[in-house]
């Protein structure tokens, strides 16, 4: 609570004065948000130079948020900054060849396999079934799910109608002319369909989604709560999201 109050004070000071010194203080105070969001995206410091590159992109998004934030957006600064930071990281990942070709091919094969098995059995396939379907060992499937998570599959992207980058959510924030009633209705229908699909998932996987999307925990923190490894959380999250996509496409 004290940290939030300090952040609000820094923001108010910056908005009142807009001096370079106030700007620098607000940016430096908000840097932990960049690392928190990277953790939420399953991007850890174990990735070394790649993590540093992505953290730099997140910092650019943060600076952009500080320079463009307007209280008239009717959003908290942390919310606006999070969208800008995440958007900058996503844009960088989309435009850079950061995943090895073999890993990218494996993730596509797993996604197609999950869709095919869902269409055949009308339920979420197990990792063992995916392995049999692809003719590979279980370890390769599990690594592929981790890689799939690194392509940032998420419920957020499922709810974002435009995933090409030009019209992403963080860029539309505060623009009251973007959504019309039919778009809002379609999105609400999609949310309802997602909620019904999630209700049919096993309890453990519902827990992963709840802790990640409702509680805002990182994969590492979820692993501690559920007493499983961070890597296992990544695998469960990716399999659930890909299964939900297959489920909804099949309907």
Judged against a pLDDT cut of 90, whether residue 196 lies above it is answered with no
Of 54, 78, 95, the domain-final residue: 95
Q: What's the rounded mean pLDDT across residues 126-140?
A: 94
Q: What's the rounded mean pLDDT across residues 2-10?
A: 64
**Higher-pLDDT residue of 223, 171:** 223
**Shared domain check, 146 and 124:** yes
Q: What is the dihedral of CA 118, 122, 126, 129, to 10 degrees?
A: -70
**Shared domain check, 157 and 116:** yes
Element (H, E) at 81: helix 77-95
What's the angle, vertex CA 47, arms to CA 44 and CA 52, rounded to 5? 85
**Shared domain check, 195 and 235:** yes
**Shared domain check, 7 and 45:** yes
What range defines the domain where residue 49 resides?
Answer: 2-95
| DSSP per residue, 41-58 | TT--GGGTHHHHHHHHHH
**Shared domain check, 12 and 51:** yes
The distance of Cα 80 from the centroid of its chain, to the nearest Å, equals 15
**Shared domain check, 155 and 187:** yes
Judged against a pLDDT cut of 90, whether residue 248 lies above it is answered with no
Give the CATH number, domain containing residue 46: 1.10.1740.10
**Shared domain check, 12 and 75:** yes
**Shared domain check, 179 and 106:** yes
**Shared domain check, 227 and 110:** yes
Name the CA radius of gyration of the chain, rounded. 20
Q: What's the rounded mean pLDDT across residues 233-241?
A: 88
Q: How far apart are CA 173 and CA 175, in angstroms?
A: 6
Residue 41: which residues within 8 A CB-CB, separation 6 or more? Answer: 86, 89, 152
**Shared domain check, 122 and 59:** no
* Segment 212-215 long-range contacts (CB within 8 Å, at least 24 positions apart): 212/40, 212/237, 213/155
**Shared domain check, 81 and 10:** yes
**Shared domain check, 59 and 10:** yes
Of 95, 114, 129, the domain-final residue: 95
pLDDT in tens, 36-72: 888 887 777 777 788 899 999 999 999 999 999 988 8
pLDDT in tens, 7-40: 778 888 888 888 999 999 999 999 999 998 888 8
The tally of domains found in the chain comes to 2
Of 95, 115, 143, the domain-final residue: 95
Give the CATH number, domain containing residue 141: 1.20.140
- On whether the CB atoms of residues 238 and 209 are closer than 8 A, the answer is no
**Higher-pLDDT residue of 42, 173:** 42
- On whether the CB atoms of residues 132 and 110 are closer than 8 A, the answer is no
């Amino acid at each position: 609570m004290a940290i939030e109050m300090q952040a609000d004070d820094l923001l108010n000071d910056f908005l009142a004065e807009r001096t370079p010194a106030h700007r620098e203080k607000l940016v430096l105070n908000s840097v932990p948000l960049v690392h928190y969001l990277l953790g939420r995206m399953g991007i850890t410091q174990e990735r070394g130079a790649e993590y540093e590159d992505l953290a730099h992109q997140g910092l650019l998004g943060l600076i952009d948020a500080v320079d463009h934030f307007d209280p008239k957006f009717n959003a908290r600064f942390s919310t606006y900054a999070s969208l800008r930071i995440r958007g900058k990281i996503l844009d960088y990942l989309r435009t850079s060849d950061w995943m090895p070709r073999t890993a990218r091919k494996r993730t596509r094969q797993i996604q197609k396999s999950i869709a095919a098995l869902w269409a055949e059995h009308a339920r979420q396939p197990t990792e063992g079934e995916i392995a049999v379907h692809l003719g590979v060992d279980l370890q390769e499937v599990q690594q592929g799910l981790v890689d799939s998570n690194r392509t940032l599959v998420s419920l957020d992207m499922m709810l974002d109608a435009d995933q090409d980058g030009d019209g992403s959510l963080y860029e539309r924030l505060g623009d009251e002319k973007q959504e019309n009633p039919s778009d809002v209705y379609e999105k609400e229908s999609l949310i309802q369909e997602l909620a019904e699909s999630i209700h049919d998932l096993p309890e453990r996987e519902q827990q992963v989604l709840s802790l990640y999307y409702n509680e805002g925990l990182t994969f590492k923190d979820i692993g501690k709560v559920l007493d499983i490894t961070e890597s296992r959380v990544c695998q469960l999250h990716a399999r659930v999201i890909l299964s939900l996509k297959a489920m909804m496409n099949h309907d």
